[in-house]
Amino acid sequence: MDSSRASSSDPLSQHIRLEEIRLLYGGTPFSYTASVVIALIIYSILLDHSASAQNLDIWLTIILSVLFVRSIDSYRFSKRTQQQQLEDGWRIRFYIGTGIAGFCWGLLPWLGYSSEIEYFSFILVCLVGVVAGSLSTLSYRWETLALFLLPASLLLILRLLVEDKNFFTATSFVLLVFIFFSLSAGKKIFNNTQQNIRLRLEADSRERAIELMHQKQALHLQNTPLAIIEFDIDLNVTEWNKAAENIFGYTHTEAIDENIMRLILSRDSSVEAEKLWQRLLNYEAVTGSIIENKTKSKKPIFCEWFVTPLTDKNNGIVGIAAMALDITEKKQNELAIIKSKEEAEKANQAKSDFLSSMSHELRTPLNAILGFTQLLKYEKTLTDKQQSHISEISNAGNLLLELVNQILDLARIEKGHLQLSMEKVALSNCFKEVRAMVSPLVEKNALSLDINIEANGFVIADYTRLKQVMLNLLSNAIKYNVKHGSVCLKALQKEDDIVRISVIDSGKGISPEQLQEIFLPFSRLNTASNIEGTGIGLSISKQLVEMMNGNIGVNSTVNEGSEFWIDLTGNLNVATVTEHKEPVSLSDQTLASPADKKHNILVAEDNPTNQTLIMSQLEALGYTAELVENGQEALNKMVNNDFQLLLTDCNMPLVDGYKLAQTIRERGNHTLPIVALTADAFPEKKAKCLKAGMNDHLTKPVDLQTLKDTLKKYLG
Ligand code: ADP
């Protein structure tokens, strides 16, 4: 195989080239010395027998000079670096030198010619010997052999032919055959040599690679943070590296031949270990299995295991190779995170529960405050001053109620109990309603209000909640405005299917630092000011808008004003969809219209203040009513009396409102209207009331108008 054909960039070919040139030059000390000795012997023998002693001298001088020059060349080669030895120059010089040497030897029959047949034969034998000898040193390269052999032998043959003796002609023929066989033998030797070189180099490099691999493995085995452990089929440890010592605390000597299960397996993990073992026996490699282990000091640790069975040539399992990573810290961190998450969730739940129960507790006294204040408003005997005080109490009570409602909303959102009903909301309807609601406030604060109630199009939202958000933004724009300032509500198509609703005011504005916290609950920026507020409105608005798949944001400049915007899915370029029907409220003046006295209502209420209030409210609305303190009393009362309607509190001693309704229905009375009166404003409470057999649900504090509407609905 000719390596010169192989790509010179191939490292193996480079190695072969180097090996060849080294072998060629490496053979020179012996072959040159032998050549000098042979040349001197030939010279001494032919000296008295050659045709021209002078020519013989010339030959000797030439051949010794050539050998001298080549020896110097060989010496210089031996001093070169590996990289330099690979240069083409050395190869070419060797080829030229070999060719010249072959030519010099070919000159011997010419310059050392002897007419005496035995001496000429001696020359012939010597040359054949030299040529044969060259086979061993020059056949590393086919070219060098040819370059030496051809001039040496062809000149000899030529000389023989010149002699023109029959004997010599025959010898020439024999010599030609000899040359042919020498060349083909040389070629074979060359091929074998090449093959040997290649095989030897390949074996060398493989050996080196294996050696390197062993070194690396040893390095990894000792320095890896992975415990590398092997054990036999009886579970006795056969391999235990440094990391295994560090992780499990047993030294190599302590661990070897010990049972792996006894050493490092904690009792709690025996089931998992058994499962893992079964998988291994099924020739399955197990990766990433996390097992609780124990150290020498019995400390529990968590390790991640990568395990594979080791098999013999018959595919029988002879042992197990395992790697283990100590993940105790990671595991502890994970557990700590889970625990703190659980704690945070618990705390959040506790906060939500607290907020909802607090709002429930606040509703009961508020019910009394707002209810009695509302009743007092219709008291004709009060002076103007007293009426004004009543108004103040009513305003403060309403603010408190708003706070309670907002807290309740917040708790419901956080608990995930707030249900939205998404629909196409016509903006003009919504704008009209909010305008009606905020107009009195705008007038009171001497502001200008610009709301485009003709706005076309719709947004996808929950109607009530969208209104709640708009009202919150508008009431802020009014509250935090300047005297004679302006408030504007408008809508524009922001993107193909996104509508932006903006509330713009000309108020004091908000500084960039304050903008960061504005949507956080209970963040009141100007707490020092006397503007009433709870600090929760924007936080609820943000959560509501996000629940409606929208975004809320604010752009504000101090002393110029703010723009609060909400982006919702929608389209302004379509005709407005069907109007949303809100229940129409009756005016205050219709409140106390005399009712039909013949309606007899049973009221079940345990709280004395609430008892007085509801009885007074019913009286103000013109109804007659009887009062009981709990469900049991109500049931007793109903045995001998006929009632047209039952108003019942939900939470009462003995028999509560739910049980009361349920019992009435179970006893076969399906016609009596039953209306719950409860301080619990959660929608699920309403569902519970309906499920128990009630017809309706009124939330305390009960507004007189709402009470009247409800009674009218059932009593006609
Ligand atoms: P609040 O009940 O206090 O109005 P919000 O959550 O609605 O609660 O608002 C939080 C705070 O953001 C307000 O206390 C106020 O300081 C500030 N803020 C809200 N809207 C505006 C506005 N349009 N201009 C200036 N400041 C505002």
> For the segment 123-145, what is each residue's pLDDT rounded down to a tens digit?
888 988 888 888 778 878 888 88
Give the C-alpha distances (Å, rounded to integers) separating 240 from 308, 643, 686: 16, 89, 69
- At 410 the pLDDT is 80
Q: Is omega for the bond preceding 701 within 30 degrees of 0, making it cis?
A: yes
Ligand 1 geometric centre to CA of 524 (Å): 6
- Give the pLDDT score at 56: 92
Please name the residues in contact with 690: beta carbons below 8 A apart, sequence gap of 6 or more: 697
Q: What is the pLDDT of residue 14?
A: 81
Task: Tell me which residue has tokens 């990289």.
Answer: 83
How far does residue 468's CA lie from ligand 1's centre (Å)? 15
Query: Which atom of ligand 1 sits closest to the CA of residue 525?
Result: 16
Those residues whose C-beta lies under 8 Å from the C-beta of residue 136, and which sit 6 or more positions away, are 27, 189
Mean pLDDT of all residues belonging to the chain:
85
Measure CA 162 to chain center: 92
Distances, alpha carbon 113 to alpha carbons 42, 123, 132, 178, in Å: 11, 8, 21, 21
Residue 525 CA, ligand 1 centroid: distance in Å:
7
Strands (E), 241-381: 286-294, 300-311, 317-326
Position 590 scores a pLDDT of: 46
**CA 486–ligand 1 middle distance (angstroms):** 16
Within 6 Å (CB) of ligand 1, which residues are found?
Answer: 472, 476-477, 480, 505, 507-508, 510, 518, 523-526, 533-539, 562
The CA 701 to ligand 1 mean position distance, Å, reads 27
Please choose from 476, 481, 489, 511 the residue to mutate so as to test ligand 1's pocket, defined by most ligand atoms within 8 A of CB.
476
Q: Is 44 exposed, middle or buried (0-12, 13-18, 19+ CB in 10 A)?
A: exposed
If you count DSSP H runs as helices and E runs as strands, how many of each does the chain have, helices first? 23, 17
CA of 542 relative to ligand 1 center, distance in Å: 13
Residue of 392, 360, 400 lying closest to 376 (CA atoms): 392
Among the residue ranges 153-162, 471-480, 565-574, the one predicted with the least confidence is 153-162
The predicted-structure confidence for 318-369, as pLDDT tens digits, reads as follows 999 999 999 999 999 999 999 999 998 888 778 777 776 777 777 778 888 8
pLDDT(209) > 50: yes
Q: Whose C-alpha lies nearest to ligand 1, atom 21?
A: 476
> Burial letters for 627-665: b for 16+ Cβ neighbours within 10 Å, e otherwise?
bbbbbbbbbebbeeeebbbbbbbbebeebbbbbbbbbbe
Report pLDDT for 597.
55
Residue closest via CA to ligand 1's atom 4 equals 533
CA of 504 from ligand 1 middle (Å) equals 13
Contacts of 469 (CB under 8 A, 6+ apart): 541, 544, 545, 552, 566
| C-alpha of residue 533 to centroid of ligand 1, in Å | 8
| Ligand 1 centre distance from Cα of residue 535 (Å) | 7
Looking at ligand 1, which atom is closest to the CA of residue 475? 4
Q: What atom of ligand 1 comes closest to residue 472's alpha carbon?
A: 7
Is 301:265 a contact under the CB 8 Å cutoff? no
In tens, the pLDDT along 620-651 reads 888 889 999 999 999 999 888 889 999 999 98
The residue nearest atom 14 of ligand 1, judged by CA position, is: 524
Find the range with the poorest average confidence among 100-104, 206-210, 551-555.
206-210
Distance 371 CA to ligand 1 centre (A): 29
Structure tokens at 70: 């080549």
Say what the pLDDT of residue 585 is. Answer: 41
Which residues on adjacent β-strands are paired with residue 490?
Answer: 502
Structure confidence at residue 598 (pLDDT): 59
Give the pLDDT band (50/70/90) at residue 5: very low
Give the least confident one: 28-32, 153-157, 168-172, 428-432: 168-172
- pTM exceeds 0.75, yes or no: no
Q: What is the pLDDT of residue 584?
A: 41
Q: What is the pLDDT of residue 221?
A: 76
Using one digit for the tens of pLDDT, what is the confidence trace for 507-563? 989 988 888 888 887 766 665 466 777 788 899 999 999 999 999 999 999 989 999
Closest ligand 1 atom to Cα of 540: 6
Q: What pLDDT sits at residue 2?
A: 43
| Per-residue pLDDT reduced to its tens digit, 256-313 | 999 998 899 887 777 888 888 888 888 888 888 888 899 999 999 999 999 999 998 8
pLDDT value at residue 703? 85
User: Which residue, judged by its Cα, is nearest atom 16 of ligand 1?
Assistant: 525
**Percentage of the residues of the chain whose pLDDT score is greater than 90:** 36
Integer Cα distance of 589 and 584 in angstroms? 14
Q: Please report the pLDDT score of residue 289 as a whole number.
A: 86
Atom of ligand 1 nearest to the CA of 477: 23
pLDDT given at position 580: 47
Most confident of 54-68, 184-198, 700-714: 54-68
Query: Does residue 504 or residue 83 have the better pLDDT?
Result: 504
Tell me how far the alpha carbon of residue 580 lies from the centroid of ligand 1, in angstroms.
Answer: 29
Instruction: Kindly give the number of the ligand 1 atom that is closest to the alpha carbon of 529.
Output: 16
Q: Ligand 1 pocket check: which of 474, 480, 554 to mutate, most ligand atoms within 8 Å of Cβ? A: 480
Residue nearest to atom 18 of ligand 1 (CA): 476
d(CA 1, CA 510): 87
Which tens digits make up the pLDDT trace of 425-443? 999 888 988 898 888 889 8
Q: Cα-flanking dihedrals φ and ψ of residue 211, to 5°?
A: -60, -45
Q: How would residue 587 be classed by pLDDT, with cut points 50, 70 and 90?
A: very low
Structure-block tokens of residue 278: 């079964």
More confident: 96 or 202:
96
431: tokens are 């704008």
Lowest mean pLDDT among 22-31, 322-331, 481-490, 661-670: 22-31
Q: Phi-psi region for residue 360, left (φ > 0), alpha (ψ -120 to 50) or beta?
A: alpha
Atom of ligand 1 nearest to the CA of 538: 6
Q: Select from 685, 679, 706 the least CA-distant residue to 366.
A: 679
CA 471 to ligand 1 center in whole angstroms: 13
Which residue, chain included where needed, has tokens 């909640």? Answer: 465
Atom 11 (ligand 1) nearest CA: 524
Q: Which atom of ligand 1 is found nearest the CA of 526?
A: 16
| Other CB atoms within 10 A of residue 202 CB | 13
How close is the Cα of 459 to the center of ligand 1, in Å? 25
Measuring CA to CA, how many Å separate 694 from each of 205, 462, 648?
93, 27, 10
Do residues 124 and 109 make contact, with C-beta atoms less than 8 angstroms apart? yes
Q: How far is CA 673 from CA 240, 278, 600, 604, 713, in A?
A: 83, 69, 12, 14, 10
Going by their DSSP bridges, the two strands 498-505 and 561-571 should be labelled as: antiparallel
267 alpha carbon to ligand 1 midpoint, in Å? 61
Share of the chain above pLDDT 70, in %: 93
- State the pLDDT at residue 474: 94
Q: Return the pLDDT at 308.
A: 92
Closest C-alpha to ligand 1, atom 23: 477
3-state secondary structure at position 530 = coil
Are 151 and 99 in contact by the 8 Å Cβ rule? The answer is yes
DSSP state of 506: -
Above 90 in pLDDT, residue 418? Answer: no
Q: Residue 102, class by beta-carbon neighbours within 10 Å (0-12 exposed, 13-18 middle, 19+ buried)?
A: buried
Q: Whose CA is nearest to atom 8 of ligand 1?
A: 535
Atom of ligand 1 nearest to the CA of 503: 23
Q: How far apart are CA 169 and CA 284, in angstroms?
A: 81
pLDDT at 243: 92
